[in-house]
Amino acid sequence: MLHQNILNMSRIKTIFTSIAIMLMVSTSFAQDIHYTQYNMAPLSLNPSLAGAFEGTFRIGGLYRDQWRSVISNQFITPSVYIDAPVFRGFGKKDWVGLGAVVVNDKAGTVSLTNTILMGGISYHLALGSKGNTVISLGGQGGYVQKRVDKSGAIFEDQILTGSASSDLQNIVNDRVSYADFNAGLSLRSVLNKRMNFNLGFSMLHLAQPNYTTFVDPVAAGIPDEDLELPRRMIGHGEFNADLTDKWTLSPSFLYQRISGGQEAAIQTLAGYHFNTEKDITLRFGGGYRIGDAAQAIVGFDYKGFRIGAAYDINLSSLKTASANRGGFEIAAYYIAKIRKTPVVKPVIFCPRF
């Protein structure tokens, strides 16, 4: 009985390992990296958001930990970014932003690692005499490398026969790399003193890079068109309203689609100003990733700092295995505002006689 339980546990582990391998060698990745706190990862959401803020520079990061309750080597995704409005554009109120983001995603028992290095530029066109509406266009380009640790792979035929797996022998590369390009467009508008909104659309993997998989595509019979990384389309938006001097409300949405797979999420965060003079605000709320997970979100603002934490409550068909436990995130960013101290020349008053 004990031997049978161990065998069943081994087969469960094999299933998840095989899933990870199939994701590696599949000709298209149907699920890109995604976040619950998508607005806390602006450069991963939309290249046009680089430098889209009031300040000197912004630096931030996000850490996601997912499926710890299901597999021993869970999905871990840390990322960091920095961006800034660097110089004025062609119009008096226009400006140009620059930004860079680094993402390192690791998943499963084979440690499938996805490292992304991206740099981008954006142009922000201010409309109207006050510049209350801004249209932004941005692009990114960079380098992506995928790595795998074959020593952690366990296949069903290894357990059943005790010999080396033929599937393992088909993995001929332990790392692949390619160039990647993204583009995005966004609109931000201040409606009045209490309300503003933003909308955006971005497309990732513009050139659909033809990347080599971990297996030999010729030996595996994979056609060239199936080696192209599919484009990923993202639509997002947020509305912010000051309900009173103390309370704010910020509903938002995210929709993305890649290779026939899609994801839609809606969120609402409330904010409470504890101290308006010191700029201390508590933010809390939740959301729902349709067909997948409920989301609990909490955070706070202090001057130029914003910190947030989120937890996914799994509601999909995997909820029995996951015990409803999904992913955990913590994110933060800081907007610095460095202003030069004005130099005042001394004024000498000459009395008149």
Q: Which domains does the chain have, with CATH numbers?
A: 2-336 (2.40.160.40)
For 14-38, write each residue's pLDDT tens digit.
Answer: 434 443 444 443 333 334 677 999 9
3-class SS shares of the chain: helix, strand, coil, % to 5: 15, 50, 35
User: Both tokens of residue 249?
Assistant: 């409300």
Percent of the chain with pLDDT over 90: 53
For position 174, what pLDDT does the model report?
A: 75
Cβ-contact 284, 270 below 8 angstroms: yes
- Name residues whose C-beta falls within 8 Å of residue 268's C-beta, 6 or more positions apart in sequence: 249, 250, 251, 252, 285, 286, 287
For position 227, what pLDDT does the model report?
A: 76
Residue 187 has a CB neighbour count (10 Å cut-off) of: 16
Answer with the residue of higher pLDDT: 319 or 204: 204
For position 210, what pLDDT does the model report?
A: 79
The DSSP string of 19-78 is HHHHHHHSSS-S-----SSGGG-HHHH-GGGTT-SSSSEEEEEEEEEE-TTT-SS-EEEE
For position 319, what pLDDT does the model report?
A: 52
The DSSP element (H or E) to which 223 belongs, if any, is none
Span of 57-66, 167-176, 271-280, 315-324 with lowest mean pLDDT: 315-324
Cβ-contact 116, 101 below 8 angstroms: yes
For position 71, what pLDDT does the model report?
A: 55
Sign of CA dihedral 77, 299, 133, 338: negative
Distances (CA, A) of 138 to 45, 171, 191: 12, 37, 24
For the segment 103-116, the average pLDDT, to the nearest whole number, is 80
Distances (CA, A) of 113 to 86, 116, 251: 33, 10, 33
User: Both tokens of residue 164?
Assistant: 């080396």
261-275 and 195-204: which strand pairing?
unpaired
User: Both tokens of residue 196?
Assistant: 């503003």
Report the C-alpha gap between 25 and 46 in whole angstroms. 28
Long-range (24+ apart) CB contacts under 8 A made by 83-92 are 83/42, 83/43, 83/49, 83/50, 83/51, 83/57, 83/58, 84/51, 84/56, 84/57, 84/58, 85/51, 85/53, 85/55, 85/124, 86/51, 89/123, 89/124, 89/125, 91/125, 91/126
Cβ-contact 250, 243 below 8 angstroms: no
Residue 260 has a CB neighbour count (10 Å cut-off) of: 8
| Average of per-residue pLDDT values in the chain | 81
Q: In which region does residue 21 sit, left (phi positive, over 0), alpha (psi from -120 to 50) or beta (all else)?
A: alpha
Of the candidates 130, 131, 128, 104, the one whose C-alpha atom is nearest the C-alpha of residue 118 is 104
pLDDT band (50, 70, 90) for residue 156? low
User: Both tokens of residue 80?
Assistant: 């960091």
Q: Is 216 helix (H, G, I), strand (E, B) or coil?
A: coil
For 221-261, write each residue's pLDDT tens digit.
Answer: 677 667 788 999 999 999 999 999 999 999 999 999 988 78
Answer with the residue of higher pLDDT: 159 or 244: 244
Burial of 227 (0-12, 13-18, 19+ CB in 10 A): middle
